[in-house]
């Protein structure tokens, strides 16, 4: 059992190896509370994962329910490119269900799961070691009789005796498993420990050269990504994980973090993936939209703050040379550009730079004056937006910028779909206008934004709408951010209120005011709020 393998993959021989990305957002991710998805939502996600370039999409657990079966079947039929995979316990019924659900796919994989740890053997399976091995062998042979691509997962592998794990993996490879997965089902291991285990598996599992060794780490101790990377360093050539790390309990390893770590530190890992990294952010955003679970601001790679800088020292550094405080290029993960957020921690360099970006040429004396007023404003507000800067330059109180003012607003949503909103607006030239708008299924925010657009006769397409809580509690302030397309440009409006519909209305009002001022060539440079 301890003899060395002939066809081992060592760190040095695996330079520039490809690491396969196995995405289980739609199975392990979806089975966690708060992340369930409907069939059409799963299909949308599956198409996005295909575009992202994942190698395998685990689409679900067909035997679990009719709904899961239907989703796996629909994804298998529609999504071409990646291998579509279904999960099965080591039972013929599960394996048959998988094969039936997957048979319409271009390329498909049956993923057989069998627990191997002493705890699971005794308390869950009621099997001894040789029964576990026999069950695994039979299940893999049966799955291989239906499909050429079969993965075996030793559930709770990390808490399995290494010698027994080596026996199980050797046996299932001999039975035909083409991928062997070593899950840290309960998120218990550490990077050094998993590195030692994978190195041992690479050397001691018989026939390992005929299969791909895979990791699947959970995040109970916040180590899922670090552990997955350590497994890759020791020879794993498939990594399982989910977008944004969603999944059972504390989640799975976040694929965007693994992919960017492997890419950014290619010097260290010497491997690559086929992921189209600029699609990482759009994919994470799609998942957030579909599940309603917002991405935390400070989330690595895809959080709003991942490329945002507010402190004066950092902003100064970034302005001089981006790499002083950024190790990745924002565009490589799908972020348009680094964001210098102007707030109370920002310095003169950042203010000067933003002013320049807005088209204002200010000399040092003007900047001194602006900086004092900017700091006073930043102390009152959490973030200073471009419109606030315009107002500062014009010597106005940002709160009084017009020309349109909201006089009255009313929005309702109706049980069973549909919403309506009415607004009344006053123009600084004395005009009063108002509109009522009803929408089917798109909600009160959409109705309100459309009512404001129609009242002011401004025609724009909504590109993105986000609402984020600025604090906690029932009276939390919400910040709405509305991105629109107007005459080929993207413009952003923002509004803050404890009422989220009102925040959306204020954001829409900011956009129409900006367009109105642009139309009349009033002071505002075209670049003022342009984001693309």
* List of residues contacting ligand KIV (CB under 6 A): 28, 87, 113, 153, 155, 181, 183, 185, 216, 218
Shortest Cβ 420–Zn ion spacing (Å)? 45
- Cβ nearer to ligand KIV, comparing 79 with 217: 217
Shortest Cβ 22–ligand KIV spacing (Å)? 10
Helix (H) and strand (E) counts in the chain: 17, 18
**CA–CA dist 182, 221 (Å, integer):** 18
**CA–CA dist 518, 516 (Å, integer):** 5
Phi then psi for residue 301, to 5 deg, are 70, -55
Contact present, 449 and 482 (Cβ < 8 Å): yes
| Secondary structure letter of residue 126 according to DSSP | -
In the list Zn ion, ligand KIV, none, the entry touching 153 (Cβ below 5 to 8 angstroms by class) is ligand KIV
- Cβ nearer to ligand KIV, comparing 155 with 257: 155
Shortest Cβ 122–Zn ion spacing (Å)? 21
3-state secondary structure 398-422: HHHCCCEEEEEEEEEECCCCCEEEE
Phi then psi for residue 46, to 5 deg, are -60, -40
In the list ligand KIV, Zn ion, none, the entry touching 160 (Cβ below 5 to 8 angstroms by class) is none
Phi then psi for residue 216, to 5 deg, are -150, 95
- Cβ nearer to ligand KIV, comparing 181 with 481: 181
- Cβ nearer to ligand KIV, comparing 240 with 510: 240
Shortest Cβ 181–ligand KIV spacing (Å)? 6
Torsion of Cα atoms, 83 then 88 then 93 then 97, to 10° = -30
Contact present, 237 and 262 (Cβ < 8 Å): no
Shortest Cβ 240–Zn ion spacing (Å)? 8
Q: Nearest to residue 136, comparing CAs of 88, 85, 197?
A: 88
Give how far Cα 527 sits from Cα of 354, 459, 480, 487, Å.
11, 19, 21, 13
Shortest Cβ 187–ligand KIV spacing (Å)? 9
In the list Zn ion, ligand KIV, none, the entry touching 21 (Cβ below 5 to 8 angstroms by class) is none
In the list ligand KIV, Zn ion, none, the entry touching 155 (Cβ below 5 to 8 angstroms by class) is ligand KIV
Shortest Cβ 216–ligand KIV spacing (Å)? 5
- Cβ nearer to ligand KIV, comparing 216 with 479: 216
Shortest Cβ 481–ligand KIV spacing (Å)? 36
In the list Zn ion, ligand KIV, none, the entry touching 214 (Cβ below 5 to 8 angstroms by class) is none
The side-by-side arrangement of strands in the sheet containing 419-427 is 404-413, 419-427, 432-439
Shortest Cβ 300–ligand KIV spacing (Å)? 22
Give how far Cα 474 sits from Cα of 165, 467, 477, 481, 501, Å.
51, 15, 9, 20, 15
- Cβ nearer to Zn ion, comparing 28 with 30: 28
Shortest Cβ 64–ligand KIV spacing (Å)? 12
List residues near Zn ion by CB under 5 A.
Answer: 28
In the list ligand KIV, Zn ion, none, the entry touching 71 (Cβ below 5 to 8 angstroms by class) is none
In the list ligand KIV, Zn ion, none, the entry touching 113 (Cβ below 5 to 8 angstroms by class) is ligand KIV
- Cβ nearer to ligand KIV, comparing 218 with 446: 218
Length of the chain: 532
Residue nearest to Zn ion (CB): 28
DSSP labels for 289-311? HHH--PPPTT-TTTSGGGGEE-S
Prior bond of 403 cis (ω within 30°): yes
In the list ligand KIV, Zn ion, none, the entry touching 493 (Cβ below 5 to 8 angstroms by class) is none
In the list Zn ion, ligand KIV, none, the entry touching 94 (Cβ below 5 to 8 angstroms by class) is none
**Helix intervals (H) in 176-241:** 191-204, 224-233
Shortest Cβ 525–ligand KIV spacing (Å)? 53
**CA–CA dist 82, 95 (Å, integer):** 20
- Helix 66-78 / helix 92-102 crossing angle, nearest 10 deg: 40
- Cβ nearer to ligand KIV, comparing 111 with 195: 111
Q: Nearest to residue 409, comparing CAs of 337, 504, 341?
A: 504
Q: Nearest to residue 262, comparing CAs of 14, 13, 454?
A: 14
**CA–CA dist 522, 519 (Å, integer):** 8
**CA–CA dist 216, 253 (Å, integer):** 8
**CA–CA dist 31, 24 (Å, integer):** 10
Shortest Cβ 31–Zn ion spacing (Å)? 9
Contact present, 178 and 212 (Cβ < 8 Å): yes
Give the up-direction half-sphere exposure of residue 347: CA atoms within 13 A in the CB hemisphere. 11
- Cβ nearer to ligand KIV, comparing 72 with 423: 72
- Cβ nearer to ligand KIV, comparing 24 with 315: 24
- Cβ nearer to Zn ion, comparing 226 with 318: 226
- Cβ nearer to ligand KIV, comparing 160 with 439: 160
């Amino acid at each position: 059992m301890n003899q060395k393998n002939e066809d081992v993959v060592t760190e040095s021989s695996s330079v520039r190896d490809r690491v396969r990305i196995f995405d289980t957002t739609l199975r392990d991710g979806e089975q966690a509370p708060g992340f369930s998805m409907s069939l059409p939502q799963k299909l949308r996600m599956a198409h996005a994962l295909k575009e992202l370039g994942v190698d395998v999409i685990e689409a679900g657990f067909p035997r679990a329910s009719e709904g899961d079966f239907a989703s796996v079947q629909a994804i298998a039929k529609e999504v071409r490119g990646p291998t579509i995979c279904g999960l099965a316990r080591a039972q013929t019924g599960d394996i048959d269900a998988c094969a039936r659900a997957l048979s319409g796919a271009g390329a498909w994989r049956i993923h057989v799961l069998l627990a191997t740890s002493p705890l699971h053997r005794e308390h869950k399976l009621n099997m001894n070691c040789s029964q576990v091995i026999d069950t695994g062998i039979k299940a893999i042979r049966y799955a291989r009789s239906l499909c050429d691509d079969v993965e075996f997962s030793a559930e709770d592998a990390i808490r399995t005796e290494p010698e027994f794990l080596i026996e199980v993996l050797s046996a299932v490879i001999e039975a035909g498993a083409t991928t062997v997965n070593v899950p840290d089902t309960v998120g218990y291991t550490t990077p050094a420990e998993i590195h030692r285990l994978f190195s041992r598996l690479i050397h001691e599992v018989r026939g390992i050269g005929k299969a791909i060794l895979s990791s699947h780490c959970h995040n109970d101790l916040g180590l899922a990504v670090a552990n997955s990377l350590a497994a890759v360093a020791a020879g794993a050539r498939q990594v399982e994980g989910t977008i944004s790390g969603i999944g059972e309990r504390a989640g799975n390893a976040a694929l965007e973090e693994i992919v960017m770590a492997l890419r950014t530190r290619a010097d260290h890992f010497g491997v690559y993936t086929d992921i189209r990294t600029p699609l990482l952010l759009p994919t994470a955003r799609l998942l957030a939209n579909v599940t309603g679970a917002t991405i935390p601001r400070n989330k690595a790679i895809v959080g709003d703050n991942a490329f945002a800088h507010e402190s004066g020292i950092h902003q100064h550094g970034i302005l001089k040379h981006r790499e002083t405080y950024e190790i990745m290029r924002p565009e490589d993960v799908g972020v348009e550009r680094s964001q210098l957020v102007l707030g109370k921690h920002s310095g003169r360099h950042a203010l000067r730079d933003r002013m320049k970006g807005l088209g204002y040429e200010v000399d040092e004396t003007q900047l001194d004056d602006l900086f004092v007023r900017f700091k006073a404003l930043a102390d009152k507000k959490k973030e200073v937006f471009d419109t606030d800067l315009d107002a500062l330059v014009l010597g106005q109180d940002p709160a009084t910028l017009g020309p349109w003012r909201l006089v009255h607003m009313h929005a309702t949503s109706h049980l069973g779909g549909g919403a309506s909103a009415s607004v009344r607006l006053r123009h600084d030239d004395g005009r009063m206008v108002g509109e009522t708008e009803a929408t089917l299924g798109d909600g009160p925010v959409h109705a309100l934004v459309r009512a404001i657009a129609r009242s002011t006769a401004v025609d724009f397409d909504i590109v993105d709408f986000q609402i984020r809580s600025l604090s906690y509690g029932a009276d939390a302030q919400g910040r709405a951010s509305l991105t629109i397309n107007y005459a080929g440009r993207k413009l952003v409006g923002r509004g803050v209120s404890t009422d989220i519909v009102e925040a959306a209305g204020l954001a829409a009002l900011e956009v129409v005011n900006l367009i109105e001022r642009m139309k009349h060539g009033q002071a505002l440079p075209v670049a003022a709020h342009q984001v693309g």
